[in-house]
Amino acid sequence: MRRAERPMLQLPAPLIWGFILVLLSQLLFHHFSPAQREFSYQPLAKPLRASTYRGIAMGSEKLLGYLLAIRLQLHDSQAGRYFNYNWIDYPVLVEWLEQITRVNPVSEYPMLLASRVYSQTRDKSRLRLMLEFIERNFDHAPQLHWRRLAEASVIAKHQLEDLKLALQLAEKLALQPASTVMPQWARDIRFLLLAELNELESAIAIIEALLQSNAVTDPDEKRFLEEKLSKFQQELFESRLTIEN
């Protein structure tokens, strides 16, 4: 059975006023408290060394590598709030990605975070750090990371608007030996970028070499290359005509 209660107005006045005062002071304190006002992005702490993480992992290095990557991925979400990537200290972020890669070298996760998650920043210097990380780590396992390098090349072209860097990344991809299995389109990025840089002659030479070497067997791919070849030849012809006139 519920106990009967006295109406609020029958309570002693000092108690009611005292309660209101205490409530107001709590609200004001909460509103103006420095911790609340600046809440409060917790910066990314520096990572430990990969060898330390390997020791802590107690034999589950790969699992720990993935868990560290997930922890890093969730760093922008703190106490239910999402922070812009501009808050993140990118050099420290790169250190984290490097250490996670060393803890689990056969994981794509750190490269994926770099190319898909942390590349979503408008700050070009930070973006460049991500692309450098991808380029650096691609060399360790080209077969595992060719997708990330292809993405990096596209990011360099469209987000960073640095065609030279995009071409440098695409060339790295295109010059991989045949033992690195990847679809032809990944290698094709190079001549598409060359054409954008108005280096039509180089692009044409690459396509002709590809077609003559019989490296391309897929009919759709062959047709795509032939179309591009005739388009670039036409563009080159027109540009020469313009120069002569």
**Contacts with other proteins, residue ranges (CB under 8 A):** 51-52, 54-56, 58-63, 66-67, 70, 73-74, 104, 106-109, 112-113, 116-117
Q: What H or E segment, with its residue span, contains residue 186?
A: helix 184-196
Collapsing DSSP states into helix, strand and coil, what is residue 205? helix
Q: Which is nearer to other proteins, 67 or 211 (CB)?
A: 67
DSSP category for residue 182 = -
Query: Nearest approach, Cβ of 120 to other proteins (angstroms)?
Result: 13
* Comparison of 60 and 120: residue with beta carbon closer to other proteins: 60
Closer residue to other proteins in complex, CB, 105/142: 105
Name the residue nearer to other proteins (CB basis): 109 or 191.
109
Minimum CB distance to other proteins smaller for 7 or for 59:
59
Q: How far apart are CA 137 and CA 194, in angstroms?
A: 24
Smallest distance from the beta carbon of 103 to other proteins, in angstroms? 12
- Min dist CB 182 to other proteins, Å, is 18
- Residue 143's nearest CA partner among 98, 104, 177 is 177
CB–CB of 206/194 below 8 Å? yes
Judge contact between 46 and 95, C-beta under 8 A.
yes
Are residues 150 and 189 in contact, defined by beta-carbon separation less than 8 angstroms?
A: yes
Nearest distance from C-beta of residue 55 to other proteins, angstroms: 3
Burial class (CB in 10 A: 0-12, 13-18, 19+), 34: exposed
- Shortest spacing between CB 96 and other proteins, in angstroms: 16
Name which of 14 and 59 has its Cβ closer to other proteins.
59
CB of 113 to other proteins, least distance (A): 8
CA 121, 104, 169, 193 dihedral sign is: negative
